[in-house]
Amino acid sequence: MAGTEPRNLLLILSDEHTPRAMGCAGTSWVRTPALDRLAARGVRFRSAITPSPICVPARAALATGQRLCVMGRHFDNADAYDGAIPSWHHALRAAGHRVVSIGKLHFRGLPGDDHGFSEEKRPMHVVDGKGDLLALIRDGSAPPRKGAAKLSALAGPGESDYTRYDRDIASDAQIWLHEEGRTQDARGETRPWVLFVSLVTPHFPLIAPPEHFYAYPPDRVPMPKAYAPGDRPDHPFLRDYAGTIPYDAPVRGEADVKRMLAGYYGLVSFMDEQVGKILAALEDAGLAATTRVLYASDHGDNAGARGLWGKSTMYDESVGVPMILAGPGVPEGRTVATPASLIDVFPTVAEAVGLDVATPDPEARSLFSLVDGDDQDRAVTSECHASGSREAAFLLRTRRWSYVRYVTYPAQLFDRAADPEELRDLASDPAQAATVAALEARLASALGAAPEEIDRRVKARQAAILAAAGGREAVLARGDLPYSPPPGVRPAWS
């Protein structure tokens, strides 16, 4: 898409939205009218992934436009972004653009940290500037996370700190847009602005407002794929994850599963409702003709598939993200199969507002350059070093293949063209030996170091952070935090 004319950009980010949980993604029974309308008037990238399937690393990569292996830090939820690596927020602000954040950031957030925004409204950062210190104990010696039991126990209809927080975020975004529309002529700005609105749903707790929860009755919500114990894959990485964060252990049967899914999909619809209000305000304020919209999520959610809940795996439900670009000059109703990544947001934002700035990661590409979908050879990568993983996991995603490489555990290979549900692991198939070798070489080249070496560097950094926090016993005594609280809400340790 050549000759992108500078325009304002509204960037909306959700949290833990699995990529197929949208009507426009082919799941017709999921109610997402706002996102469906956005996709109809824009481009949906159906093979987009996160640089890491866990909150803090994903958001650091989104900010800096760099993969974890390039940053050399921000590997887990105890290593939050502090502004030291320049972000697209810094670049835009330095060039005279207003760049405003409303909602969850999940950065370090300590006094003196400069995240690069012109203004931060209702920012949610990691607890105490330290975050999830338990994520640093990855050798299997820590007891199972206590907060995991709350996933099932809390699922149901109602309001939570997160739904109330998102209502406030959406309200502030609407006010900002209306005030911008009302005062833009008096302001006399010549440089486009960027408004970053970051919602926290459908991240658990799986408590959905009643009108959305009851939109998914048990007879309508299908059971997750490969949920039955005999159908689940048996892989050591998944055993490590389930042993550390046993989300499925308290689930008593199909009724519990469907209640949890009603909560999850109800939160997806609730989140979509907030997106709809924000987009309506953009239109009502008279800004739609001069503003592009980019929607994405920080990562997905397994949502019961294979008996897995939460994120932190390299299956598409977890590592995949929804991504939609719409607005002036963007083709309408197009779906692009070329792989994309959240690190692409950096060059996309820069191009959207007309800022000439170097791309910080050679893997990053502006989404505008992918709109025509003619890049048949592009590959993107993701990595996971967080709680529940005893060793690193790396993903290489091409148009056809998903290749997952661990340090010592068996690799996985999925032919997404023939097996989009990723149910048949072909890594040990002799017929795919050449494919595995080619993808292995390509992954090593993309990472710039052997997976074993990256794993070693990550664990060395994590050991240093753990020591600075008082060591293993001090971290265990601090307790478990199921999810980060919004601003003004006290942490609920367990």
Closest CA to 373 of 51, 65, 47, 62: 47
Q: 389, 349 in Cβ contact below 8 A?
A: no
In sequence order, the 6+-apart residues with CB closer than 8 A to the CB of 147 are 480, 481, 482, 483, 494
Q: What is the pLDDT of residue 162?
A: 98
Provide DSSP, 165-224.
HHHHHHHHHHHHHHHHHHHHHHHT--S--EEEEE--TTSSS-EE-HHHHTTS-TTTSPPP
For the chain, the helix, strand and coil percentages under 3-state DSSP, each to the nearest 5: 40, 15, 45
State how far the Cα of 153 lies from the Cα of 103, in Å rounded to an integer: 27
State how far the Cα of 46 lies from the Cα of 39, in Å rounded to an integer: 11
In sequence order, the 6+-apart residues with CB closer than 8 A to the CB of 94 are none
The contacts found for 233-240 with CB under 8 angstroms, 24 or more apart, are 233/306, 233/425, 235/409, 235/410, 235/412, 236/406, 236/409, 236/410, 237/313, 237/389, 237/391, 237/393, 237/406, 237/409, 238/306, 238/308, 238/313, 240/140, 240/388, 240/389, 240/390
Task: Please give the model's pTM, rounded to 2 decimal places.
Answer: 0.98
State how far the Cα of 210 lies from the Cα of 270, in Å rounded to an integer: 10
Strand ranges for 211-298 from DSSP E: 291-297
CATH superfamily of 8-377+472-478: Alkaline Phosphatase, subunit A (3.40.720.10)
SS3 22: coil
> Which residue ranges make up each domain of the chain?
8-377+472-478
pLDDT in tens, the chain (494 residues): 555 899 999 999 999 999 999 999 999 999 999 999 999 999 999 999 999 999 999 999 999 999 999 999 999 999 999 999 999 999 999 999 999 999 999 999 999 999 999 999 999 999 999 999 999 999 988 889 988 899 999 999 999 999 999 999 999 999 999 999 999 878 778 899 999 999 999 999 999 999 999 999 988 899 999 999 999 999 999 999 999 999 999 999 999 999 999 999 999 999 999 999 999 999 999 999 999 999 999 999 999 999 999 999 999 999 999 999 999 999 999 999 999 999 999 999 999 999 999 989 999 999 999 998 888 899 999 999 999 999 999 999 999 999 999 999 999 999 999 999 999 999 999 999 999 999 999 999 999 999 999 999 999 999 999 999 999 999 999 989 888 999 999 988 87
Q: 66, 357 in Cβ contact below 8 A?
A: no
